[in-house]
Amino acid sequence: MRIFREPMTSASTSDKIIPEGQSHSMLQEYYALRGWDRNSRPCTRQLQELGLA
């Protein structure tokens, strides 16, 4: 993937590359913050909060 080989270009992240081994844990943390399960699907609790249960 490109994000593992090419540095980011924004001013605050200039010349930084996301280590491939770190990306999985970052993605899982993002899913948890969004209220999703580890397969990126909304959890039951999240669906109830949105009135979609």
pTM for the whole structure: 0.58
pLDDT for 52 beyond 70? yes
* Integer angstrom CA distances of residue 51 from 30, 36, 46: 22, 15, 9
Segments making up each domain of the chain, as ranges: 21-53
* Sequence-ordered list of residues with C-beta below 8 angstroms from that of 39, at least 6 positions apart, any chain: none
As beta bridge partners, residue 15 has none
The pLDDT tens digits for 3-49 are 677 776 766 666 677 777 788 888 899 999 999 998 999 999 889 98
> 36: helix, coil or strand?
strand
Cβ neighbours around 52 below 10 Å, total: 9
CA 6, CA 14: separation in Å to the nearest integer? Answer: 11
